[in-house]
Amino acid sequence: MASAARTFSRALARGATPVTSVRPSATRNAARFSLPAQTYRASWRRGYSTASEPQKSSSGMYWALGAVALAAGGTYYYMNNESFAAAQKPFVPTKEDYQKVYDEIAHLLVEKDDYDDGSYGPVLVRLAWHASGTYCKDTKTGGSNGATMRFDPESNHGANAGLKTARDFLEPVKAKFPWISYSDLWTLAGACAIQELQGPTIPWRPGRKDNDASACTPDGRLPDASKDQKHIRDIFGRMGFDDREMVALCGAHALGRAHADRSGYDGPWDFSPTVMTNEFFKLLLSEKWVNKKVRQYATVVLCLLV
């Protein structure tokens, strides 16, 4: 299981550019402007004659008012300039920001349990894998960068049937954290699902960028369940995996089930489709399998499929 998780993390990382999380500098203290208080004392002159008191000069008061106005204007300019600079500075997410996204996905997995066998987790893993599994090591196209499954024709490729459910599930998360790319969101959701379904820790990293429809990959880059081992080697070999890694990745079938309206097959892969285990491999070797129509195999006792 740990081997499968490590291999899955490699698949998610294909084409991903590592980024350095930069902590925003500490908030600068607002400048304080202070003016010395001026004391005005009335000067009284006792006169011994009826002559009028000399006229007082008001220039001092004017100077004080001018200084106050200048200080206020300077403060306003400084504060607004700081706000403008802060608004123009690009947002650099930290590890804590990504943790909030993870926590939101984990919360939704608990809150929404009305899908398939009681969890959206397996279909999130499938979304992350299908977004990553289009990678080509020779042309450096496809892969987890781009999130081009948002667009036609890739969204309608036969291998991606049913994944709109997963994409729609994550839309509220994207709305709450608009700064995260779809590419990072989908792969983080896959890692989150594996971990929350009692799987191992996935060494996920951010840095993927979204692309437009022009980067959609051609149909046929994902595995076809109706084909043989040569097809598997061709598909996974294009991504740079060896036989050991190919087998490990097939272990993801420990989660979820097949759907007749998507792949043409139907049924769970093992007895605990919402828990990440090695049961898929154990059953593959220990159970007696019989051939059914459309090249689907089922156990003699219970309805599992391979």
Does residue 270 have a pLDDT over 70? yes
292 or 55, which is more confident?
Answer: 292
Nearest-angstrom CA–CA distance, 190 and 120: 10
Question: pLDDT (tens digit, 9 = 90+) per residue, 63-117?
Answer: 666 666 666 666 666 566 655 555 678 899 999 999 999 999 999 999 999 999 9
Do you find a cis peptide bond into 153, omega within 30 degrees of 0? yes
- How confident is the model over 113-124, as a mean pLDDT? 95
Catalytic residue status for 179: no
Alpha-carbon gap, residue 95 to 142, rounded angstroms? 26
For every residue of the chain, which 3-state class applies, written as one string? CHHHHHHHHHHHHCCCCCCCCCCCCCCCCCCCCCCCCCCCCCCCCCCCCCCCCCCCCCHHHHHHHHHHHHHHHHHHHHHHHHHHHHHHCCCCCCHHHHHHHHHHHHHHHHHCCCCCCCCCHHHHHHHHHHHHCCCECCCCECCCCECHHHCCCHHHCHHHCCCHHHHHHHHHHHHHCCCCCHHHHHHHHHHHHHHHCCCCCCCCCCCCCECCHHHCCCCCCCCCCCCCHHHHHHHHHHHCCCHHHHHHHHHHHHCCEECCCCCCCCEECCCCCCCCCCHHHHHHHHCCEEEEHHHEEEECCCCCEC
**Tokens encoding 208:** 């993927």
For the stretch 1-32, pLDDT in tens is 555 555 656 666 554 544 433 333 333 333 32
Q: Do residues 172 and 249 make contact, with C-beta atoms less than 8 angstroms apart?
A: no
- The candidate with the shortest Cα–Cα distance to 249, out of 133, 143, 140, is 133
Is residue 259 annotated as a catalytic residue, yes or no?
no
The better pLDDT of the pair 268, 102 is held by 102
Which tens digits make up the pLDDT trace of 222-265? 999 889 999 999 999 999 999 999 999 999 999 999 998 888 88
Catalytic residue among 129, 130, 204, 253: 130
2-16+93-252, CATH topology level? Peroxidase; domain 1 (1.10.520)
Candidate list 179, 231, 269, 289, residue with the active-site label: 269
